[in-house]
Amino acid sequence: MREVAVIGIGITKFGELWDKSFRQLIAEAGSKAIFDAGIEGKDIDALYIGSMSSGRFIGQEHVGALVADAAGFSHLHIPATRIEGACASGGLAVRQGYLSIASGVNDIVVVGGIEKMNDVAGASATETLATAADQEWEAFFGATFPGLYAMIATRHMHDYGTTKEQLAQVAVKNHANGAKNPYAQYKFEVTVEQVMAAVPVAHPLGLLDCSPVSDGAAAIVLCAMDKAKEFTDKPVKIIASGQASDTLPLHGRRDITTLDATVHAAKMAYKQANVTPKDIDVAEVHDCFTIAEICAIEDLGFVEKGKGGKAVEENITTLDGEIPVNTSGGLKAKGHPVGATGVAQIIEIVEQLRGEADKRQVEDARIGLAHNVGGSGATCVIHILEAI
Ligand code: COA
C-alpha cells in the first residue's frame, strides 16, 4: 500500500445558513481546500462526497456529479462518487479517497462532506435522521436519535453510576472549545447548571446534551505521500484507516453501552498505525450526544470501561488534559451537518498537527485520531494521522 497525506483543508462556517445553497457551501469548502493544497482542477483524479440524506433534506440526489459541476469541474469529467453511511458518510468518504490512493489507482483526490439540514422543519429533520435507525424495530415505534442515545445513557448510569452532572461536563468542555473555533455553530460557553436546567429532550438528555441540526460543508485534498512534497511542506500523513459495522437496532447488541463497531474499527486502526491509545495526543470523537463521547473514550481505550464519566469529571479530556478530546467543540458546539462531520473532524486534527489551531492548540500534538459514527453505532470509521 502507498502512503497517503492530507495536503489541503477547507471548511465553511457551521450553523443555520439560510443565505447559502448546497452548491455554494460545497464549492466554498472545496475551493478553500484546493487553494490550501496549491493544486488545480487538472491535478484531481477523483472526487468522493459524503452526504447522508440530500434527497430528503433538499430534494436533491445524484450529488457526486452535482458537486463536480458546482466546483467548476464538469468540463474535466472527473469521476465523482457520493458515499452514504448515515452520520459516518464523511468519514467513509475519507476512507474511500484514502484507499483509492493507497491502492495506486489515484494520486490526488478531493474528499468533501456536506449536509444542509435546516431547509426542512425540525420534525422532518428528526424523521430524516431516524432513517439511519432500524425502521422496523425502532423508528416505526417512535424511537428518535435522542431517544436511542437516552436509552444508552440510562443504561450507562445504571451499570456504572454515571451521573447527569458528568454528562453535562462533556457539554461544558465542548462549548468552551467551540467558543474558540471561528467555524463553530455555537460560540458560547455554558455551565453545568445551565446544561442540567435545559429543556428535556429525552430523559436524561436535555437540549444542551444534544448536537444541533446544522448546515455546513468541509473538504480535504489527499495525495500520495511521494508526491505530497511537490505541493506542501506540511503534509499530514494518514497512518491508519479502520472501519467496522454492527447491528442497526440497539437490541441486537451484546451491551448497548459499548459500540462494538468503534472497538473493532479502533483495533484495526491501532494495529495498522502500530500505536496504542496512550500514543494519541488529540482526538475528535463522535459526540452527537454527551453520552456518546463518554462511550467513545471508553471504546477507544482512552479510559477504562465504565470510567468515562469520572474521566470527564477529572478534566482528563480538556484542552490541557491528558488526552484532549473534541478541541473543535465537537458535534455538540461546532455543529453536526451529518455528511460533513467526518471530514470536519479530519480538518481539526490536521490543524492541530500542523500547529495551526490557534487558541485551541494542543501543545506538541504529533498523533491525532478522528472517530466518526453512523446512527447509534452500526457504522464506525476511524483515522489516525501523524505530523511529518
Ligand atoms: N444545543 C444548543 N442549543 C440548541 C440546540 C442544541 N443542540 N438545538 C437548538 N438549540 C437552540 C437554537 O439555537 C434556538 O436558540 P434561539 O432560540 O436562541 O435561536 C433554540 O435552541 C430553539 O431551537 P430549535 O431549532 O427550535 O430547537 P428544536 O427543539 O427544534 O431542536 C433538538 C432541538 C435537540 C431536538 C435538535 O437540535 C436535535 O434534534 N438534535 C439532535 C440531532 C441529531 O439527532 N443528530 C444525529 C445524531 S446521531
pLDDT band at 95 (very low <50, low <70, confident <90, very high): very high
Residue 340 in domain = no
The answer to whether 227 touches 104, Cβ cutoff 8 Å, is no
Instruction: Write out the H or E segment, with its range, that includes residue 379.
Output: strand 379-387
In a domain, 339, yes or no: no
Confidence of residue 99 (pLDDT cuts 50, 70, 90): very high
- Average the pLDDT over 40-50 and give the result: 97
Position 83 in a domain? yes
Query: Is residue 114 domain-shared with residue 26, that is, in the same domain?
Result: yes
* Nearby residues of 139 by Cβ (< 8 Å), 6 or more positions away: 130, 131, 133
206 close to 198: Cβ distance less than 8 angstroms: yes
- Is the peptide bond prior to 249 cis by the omega test (within 30 degrees of 0)? no
Shared domain for 78 and 137, answered yes or no, is: no
94, part of any domain:
yes
Q: Are residues 244 and 160 in the same domain?
A: yes
Is the domain of 83 the same as that of 224? yes
Domain housing 359: 130-210+238-329+355-387
| pLDDT score for 325 | 98
For 230-272, write each residue's pLDDT tens digit: 999 999 999 999 999 999 999 999 999 999 999 999 999 999 9
> Ligand 1 centroid vs 331 CA: distance in angstroms?
12
Of all residues in the chain, the percent with pLDDT exceeding 70 is: 100
Q: What is the overall mean pLDDT for the chain?
A: 98
**Residues at CB less than 6 angstroms from ligand 1:** 87, 122, 126, 129, 145-146, 186, 201, 207-208, 210-213, 288, 336
Based on the residue annotation, tell me whether 336 is a catalytic residue of this protein. Answer: yes
Confidence of residue 118 (pLDDT cuts 50, 70, 90): very high
Predicted confidence band of residue 213 (pLDDT cuts 50, 70, 90): very high
- What's the CATH code of the domain at 35? 3.40.47.10
For range 265-292, the mean pLDDT:
98
SS3 annotation, 220-238 = EEEEEHHHHCCCCCCCEEE
**Spatial distance between the Cα atoms of 153 and 155, rounded to a whole number of angstroms:** 5
Please give the pLDDT value at position 51. 98
Q: Note whether residue 75 is domain-resident.
A: yes
Mean pLDDT of 356-378: 98
Residues 84 and 144 in one domain: no
Pair 45, 171 in one domain: no
What does the alpha-carbon distance between residue 251 and residue 164 come to, in Å, rounded to a whole number?
23
Grid cell 464538469 is found at 74
Please name which of 266, 321, 317 lies closest in space to residue 290, comparing C-alpha atoms: 317
**Residue 209 Cα to ligand 1 middle (Å):** 10
Could you give the C-alpha distances from 32 to 11, 83, 203, 225, in angstroms and in order? 7, 21, 41, 21
Helix (H, G, I), strand (E, B) or coil at 357: coil
Across the range 346-369, mean pLDDT stands at 98
- For the segment 106-114, the average pLDDT, to the nearest whole number, is 98
Out of 156, 264, 336, 383, pick the active-site residue. Answer: 336
Regarding whether 134 and 116 lie in a shared domain, the answer is: no
| pLDDT at residue number 199 | 98
Q: How many C-beta neighbours within 10 Å does residue 155 have?
A: 16
Structural domains of the chain, count = 2
| Cα separation values, 209 from 171, 184, 196, 243, 294, Å | 6, 16, 9, 27, 12
Instruction: Output the CA torsion 167→171→177→182 (10° steps).
Output: 150
Q: Which atom of ligand 1 is nearest to the CA of 375?
A: 48
Residue 109: inside a domain: yes
Within-domain flag for 159: yes
**CA–CA distances in Å: residue 158 to residues 126, 164, 195, 221, 298:** 27, 12, 21, 44, 16
- Are 184 and 220 part of one and the same domain? no
Are residues 160 and 173 located together in one domain of the fold?
Answer: yes
Q: pLDDT confidence of 307, banded at 50, 70, 90?
A: very high
Residue 348 located in a structural domain: no
183 and 276 housed in the same domain: yes
Grid cell listed for 322: 491528558
Q: In the chain, where does DSSP find H-type helix?
A: 22-37, 54-58, 63-70, 89-102, 122-129, 145-160, 164-178, 192-197, 225-228, 260-273, 290-299, 308-313, 330-334, 338-354
Q: What's the rounded Cα separation, in Å, for the pair 95 and 385?
A: 13
Specify the residue with its C-alpha closest to ligand 1, atom 36. Answer: 212
pLDDT band at 54 (very low <50, low <70, confident <90, very high): very high
Q: Which of 202, 236, 270 is the last residue of a domain?
A: 236
Pocket test for ligand 1, best of 151, 186, 195, 213 (most atoms within 8 A of CB): 213
Q: Check whether residue 34 and residue 138 sit in a common domain.
A: no
Distance from the alpha carbon of residue 201 to the mean position of ligand 1, in angstroms: 9
33 and 71 housed in the same domain: yes
Give the per-residue pLDDT at 367: 98
What is residue 211's predicted lDDT score, i.e. its pLDDT? 98
d(CA 215, CA 229) in angstroms, rounded, equals: 34
What is the reported pLDDT for 244? 98
CA pair distance 68, 99, nearest whole angstrom: 20
* 223 is known as an active-site residue: no
